[in-house]
């Protein structure tokens, strides 16, 4: 293989996981930009109820991801859980399109779609299981490739969906498109994903569901998740702040926001692979620290943006930093429970939930005290505090290892 396309992607399970997670990302990219429009404007949900549903959906997704991940570990294979999750996606998106009402929208968001969302961590778990026997550098590269496919879907799909529905009176067909994407994902899992004989794995991973939840919230795991969540919360904060600063202090048009997001997503795809190579040479912690610092500089400068060209100039820093933050923590989190790929990959969903909560808190506090520009700078401090925590935990772990070796 060429240096541009690493040998690790020859693995059929990893290749199929990459294609499957692209179709998974398609479903989200088709609906997420228009979810509030459908729920609030078209179906009549109140702002407060929509916010509650978003929070409840995220909470359900965390619990389901942990339980399904543990179940897959006990079974020793991930196809069955992924097939089931896809079915919930087809039903969840399909019922909103077929029976559009506030009640159906809420029902879909509280059960079928959060279960479908667990497919994200299951696909990473399946890829991780396929990496058995690989060295750590290849694992980082493989995870980066899988994660890049989600970014690719967000580069291509939202604009295409918006273009197709530009003359429509409703955005509900986006949910039909998402159901079709789930069908494609199901087909890939059924016919392209290699079947794994998992008897040996299943014999090792007998852990009760309550025990799995306890392990996830244990002090050792929670401390690391807190550090990672502080870092990744900066992505959520940027999602909220960029449109507000762009159309406010920077005097840009709303159309500029979509262009800026597309540019950054495109840069992420390129630099995800670059960061995987940096991590191989410099180490995972060093690469994550560098990426976090770059993104913190971006957020700080975002607070000073006063012209549209400032935002376009900052897309380079945003793309480079975001690529590290969305890709490197995946392997880091999986390594926290390395012997259980399903449960370890479920920590990805736990981190998404925790980082969204931290982001919401920082946004609320920052905007009430310092406005949008000040909140951007506070976001930078939040990310830097996260990498500081991880650095201290890493140092403590290294000291403990040295002490154990000397005894």
Extents of the domains making up the chain: 1-206, 208-407
Is the pLDDT at 198 greater than 50? The verdict is no
Q: Which CATH number fits domain 208-407: 3.90.226.30, 1.20.1250.20, 3.30.300.30, 3.40.50.2300?
A: 1.20.1250.20
Look up residue 258 and give its two tokens: 């979509």
User: Quick one: pLDDT at residue 151?
Assistant: 81
User: Quick one: pLDDT at residue 364?
Assistant: 87
Asked if domains 1-206 and 208-407 share a fold, the reply is yes
Instruction: Tell whether domain 1-206 is in CATH 3.40.50.2300.
Output: no
Is the pLDDT at 256 greater than 80? The verdict is yes
Alpha carbon dihedral 155, 157, 158, 163, in 10-degree steps, equals: 120
Mind listing the pLDDT tens digit for each residue in 272-285? Answer: 889 988 988 888 89
The answer for residues whose C-beta is within 8 angstroms of residue 329's C-beta and 6 or more apart is: 228, 231, 232, 288, 351
Using CA atoms, how far apart are residues 154 and 161, in angstroms rounded to an integer? 11
Mind listing the pLDDT tens digit for each residue in 78-135? Answer: 889 999 999 999 999 999 999 999 999 999 999 999 999 999 999 988 888 888 777 7
User: Quick one: pLDDT at residue 200?
Assistant: 44
Mean pLDDT of all residues in the chain?
A: 86
Give the residue-averaged pLDDT of 34-42: 85
Using CA atoms, how far apart are residues 137 and 126, in angstroms rounded to an integer? 18
Q: Cα–Cα distances in Å, from 243 out to 257, 373, 393? A: 6, 12, 35
Rounded to the nearest 5°, which phi and psi values hold at 89?
Answer: -65, -45
User: Quick one: pLDDT at residue 138?
Assistant: 79
* DSSP 8-state assignment for residue 44: -
Using CA atoms, how far apart are residues 9 and 74, in angstroms rounded to an integer? 27
Which segments of 77-135 does DSSP mark as H helices, in order?
79-98, 102-110, 112-117, 119-130
Give the residue-averaged pLDDT of 344-355: 89
Length of the chain: 407
User: Quick one: pLDDT at residue 388?
Assistant: 97
Using CA atoms, how far apart are residues 342 and 330, in angstroms rounded to an integer? 13
Using CA atoms, how far apart are residues 305 and 133, in angstroms rounded to an integer? 48
**Region of poorest pLDDT, from 260-264, 310-314, 399-403:** 399-403
Of 153 and 90, the structure prediction assigns the larger pLDDT to 90
The answer for residues whose C-beta is within 8 angstroms of residue 241's C-beta and 6 or more apart is: 302, 363, 372, 375, 376, 379
Residue showing tokens 């159906």? 104
How confident is residue 397, by pLDDT bands cut at 50, 70 and 90? confident
Using CA atoms, how far apart are residues 389 and 232, in angstroms rounded to an integer? 13
**Contact between 292 and 383 (Cβ < 8 Å):** yes
User: Quick one: pLDDT at residue 310?
Assistant: 95
User: Quick one: pLDDT at residue 51?
Assistant: 75
User: Quick one: pLDDT at residue 4?
Assistant: 52
Is the pLDDT at 159 greater than 60? The verdict is yes
DSSP string, 315-380: HHHHHHHHHHHHHHHHHHHHHHTTT-HHHHHHHHHHHHHHHHHHHHHHHHHHHHHHHHHHHHHHHH
**Contact between 155 and 33 (Cβ < 8 Å):** no
- Helix, strand, coil percent values for the chain (each to nearest 5): 85, 0, 15
How confident is residue 197, by pLDDT bands cut at 50, 70 and 90? very low
CA angle 259, 301, 377 (to 5 degrees): 110
Is the pLDDT at 196 greater than 70? The verdict is no
User: Quick one: pLDDT at residue 182?
Assistant: 97
Q: Is the dihedral of CA 73, 78, 84, 90 positive or negative?
A: positive
End-to-end CA distance of the chain: 45
Look up residue 225 and give its two tokens: 């998740």
Using CA atoms, how far apart are residues 268 and 347, in angstroms rounded to an integer? 22
In terms of pTM, does the model score above 0.85? no
Look up residue 109 and give its two tokens: 């968001």
- Which among 80-84, 147-151, 194-198, 366-370 has the top mean pLDDT? 80-84
**Region of poorest pLDDT, from 135-144, 303-312, 384-393:** 135-144
């Amino acid at each position: 293989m060429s240096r541009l396309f690493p040998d690790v992607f020859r693995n059929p399970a990893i290749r199929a996981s990459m294609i499957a997670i692209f179709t998974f990302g398609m479903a989200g990219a088709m609906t997420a930009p228009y979810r509030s429009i459908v729920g609030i404007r078209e179906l009549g949900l109140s702002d407060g109820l929509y916010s509650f549903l978003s929070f409840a959906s995220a909470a359900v997704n965390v619990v389901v991801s942990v339980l399904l991940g543990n179940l897959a570990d006990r079974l020793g294979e991930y196809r069955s859980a992924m097939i089931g999750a896809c079915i919930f996606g087809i039903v969840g998106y399909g019922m909103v399109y077929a029976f559009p009402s506030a009640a159906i929208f809420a029902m879909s968001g509280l059960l079928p779609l959060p279960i479908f969302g667990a497919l994200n961590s299951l696909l990473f778990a399946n890829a991780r299981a396929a990496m058995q026997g690989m060295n750590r550098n290849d694992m980082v590269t493989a995870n980066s490739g899988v994660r890049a496919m989600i970014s690719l879907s967000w580069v291509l799909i939202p604009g295409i969906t918006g273009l197709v529905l530009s003359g429509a009176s409703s955005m509900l067909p986006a949910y039909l498109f998402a159901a079709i994407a789930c069908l494609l994902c199901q087909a890939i899992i059924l016919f392209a994903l290699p079947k794994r004989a998992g008897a040996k794995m299943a014999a090792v991973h007998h852990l009760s569901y309550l025990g799995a939840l306890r392990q996830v919230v244990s002090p050792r795991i929670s401390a690391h998740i807190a550090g990672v969540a502080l870092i990744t919360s900066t992505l959520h904060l940027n999602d909220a702040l960029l449109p507000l600063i762009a159309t406010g202090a920077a005097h840009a048009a709303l159309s500029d926001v979509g262009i800026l997001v597309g540019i950054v997503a495109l840069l992420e795809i390129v630099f995800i692979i670059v960061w995987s190579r940096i991590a191989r040479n410099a180490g995972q912690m060093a690469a994550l620290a560098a990426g976090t610092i770059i993104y913190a500089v971006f957020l700080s400068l975002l607070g000073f943006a006063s012209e549209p060209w400032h935002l376009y100039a900052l897309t380079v820093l945003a793309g480079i930093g975001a690529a590290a933050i969305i890709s490197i923590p995946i392997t880091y989190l999986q390594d926290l429970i390395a012997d259980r790929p399903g449960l370890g990959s479920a920590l990805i969903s736990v981190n998404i939930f925790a980082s969204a909560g931290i982001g919401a808190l920082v946004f609320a506090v920052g905007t009430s005290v310092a406005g949008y520009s000040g909140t951007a700078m506070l976001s930078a401090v939040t990310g830097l505090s996260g990498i500081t925590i991880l650095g201290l935990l890493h140092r403590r772990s290294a000291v403990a290892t040295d002490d154990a070796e000397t005894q």
